[in-house]
Copies of this chain bind each other. A is one copy, B any other.
Amino acid sequence: MSSSPKSAEKVSDLDGRPPESTDFANYFCTYAYIYHQKDMLEDHKRTGAYYQAVLSNKRQFQGKVVLDVGTGSGILAIFAAKAGAKKVYAVEATNMAKNARQLVEHNKLSHVVEVIQGTIESIELPEKVDIIISEWMGYFLLRESMLDSVLVARDRFLAPGGALYPSHASIYMAPIRSNLAAQRTSEFQNSMEGWAEFLHEMQHYYQVSLDVLSDGYRSEQKDYYLHTSQWTDTHPQQLLGPAAPIIKYDLNKLTLEELKAPLKSEFVMHMTDGGPVDAFCGFFDVLFKGSDENPTDNEIRLTTAPDPTGATHWGQQTFPLHPPIDCAPGDRLRVSVEVTRRADNQRLLHVKAAVSVEGNSIYAEQSKTPREFRWNIE
């Protein structure tokens, strides 16, 4: 036998929900590496947006008590302290907390920033906080389900009228041209040809027939090649029409129950160019608006939309369409989408979409019943 832990991609557990220790092993531990913190810190669209959100809104931080959920290296807590916060609680589950503490000391901010190692669900704070800051966004916004912990922090620790940084978040989808779908289809076909050869070898060398596993193998490989979204750095010229918002969250009002429920949305994508549409491109943005009582002076936006200067470390998630959707300029794609957490690992996602073409084209005429698609976000 020989399996690398690097390829242990998926987690299943008997009751469908991994116990805390498994979650720790599989989720948190990556964040315990400085290497990984560096990857996030040097994404300057990301770090720069948080820097601007805090340092260009010093008035909002002056003399305030701040909580940083998942502080990692401690950078956002340090920004808050530099902006004049009276006290910053910087909470981190992994051993990266030790590095954060060092960094705070080294930057002479120990009198303001207190690093606490633990999960937000398990720690206690001696007071309510005025501001909660956190960089919790995963691929397609929701992967990792870390927003859960921010809402728990809000409900446990945020004073009335307090503000969340960021305060709003939206997910978008856009129709694109992409060679991804064709490429993945061809990789899938190669893989099935390899399987056929393999069956032949096993029969020939060992007189064992493995035909009965073909359906299982096909389904595994289909899931992998055709039903898995992929990180891409999409160029704006690939867009065949403007992106449509799937959902807009006001984080002040969103409840944990709403967040954990399946996300269901219907939206329309307007086709500027004609098809075929090879894929949908999913991305998100977040806004720093403060709260109604304490709005920011400078509203900052962090977007992960396709950008000719290159993607953030989140890139975009590209959802291949097999086969592509034919449509003409001026047509509309009506999409019903459902995003659910994976039963085998609630930090991963499953996306279903039903798509119909509307408009005056021959394609719209032929689109009687919606076509259905599904993808895993790994």
With A1-B135, A51-B205, A195-B38 known as contacts, the answer to whether A9 contacts B6 (CB < 8 A) is yes
Q: Does A122 interact with chain B (Cβ within 8 Å)? A: no
The listed residue with most B CB atoms (<10 A of its CB), out of A8, A36, A73, A106, is A8
B residues less than 8 Å from A12 (CB atoms): 25, 29, 32, 95
User: Is A5's CB under 8 angstroms from B348's CB?
Assistant: yes
A21 and B19 CA atoms in complex are apart in Å by: 7
User: Is A38's CB under 8 angstroms from B99's CB?
Assistant: no
Using CB atoms, name the residue of chain B closest to A231. Answer: B4
User: Is A6's CB under 8 angstroms from B7's CB?
Assistant: yes
Taking the nearest CB of chain B, how far is it from the CB of A100, in angstroms?
10
Using CB atoms, name the residue of chain B closest to A144. Answer: B1
A163 and B321 CA atoms in complex are apart in Å by: 54
A5 and B376 CA atoms in complex are apart in Å by: 13
A42 and B136 CA atoms in complex are apart in Å by: 43
A side interface size, CB within 8 A = 82
Question: Looking at chain A's contact residues, is the secondary structure mostly helix, strand, loop, or mixed?
Answer: helix
With A6-B6, A18-B21, A216-B99 known as contacts, the answer to whether A208 contacts B1 (CB < 8 A) is no
User: Is A1's CB under 8 angstroms from B31's CB?
Assistant: yes
A63 and B7 CA atoms in complex are apart in Å by: 40
B residues less than 8 Å from A47 (CB atoms): 205-206
- A64-78 residues with Cβ-Cβ distance < 8 A to B are 70, 72-73, 75, 78
User: Is B10's CB under 8 angstroms from A139's CB?
Assistant: no
A139 and B210 CA atoms in complex are apart in Å by: 27
Using CB atoms, name the residue of chain B closest to A35. Answer: B220
B residues less than 8 Å from A201 (CB atoms): 42, 44
A348 and B5 CA atoms in complex are apart in Å by: 9
Q: Does A301 interact with chain B (Cβ within 8 Å)? A: no
What would be 17 A-B contacts, judged by CB atoms less than 8 Å apart?
Answer: A1-B31, A1-B135, A1-B137, A3-B144, A5-B27, A5-B378, A8-B27, A11-B25, A34-B220, A35-B221, A38-B195, A42-B201, A51-B206, A102-B212, A103-B213, A106-B211, A106-B212
Contacts A38-B195, A41-B210 known; 13 new A-B pairs at CB < 8 A: A1-B40, A2-B138, A3-B27, A5-B11, A13-B21, A26-B26, A35-B217, A38-B217, A42-B201, A47-B205, A47-B206, A51-B205, A106-B211
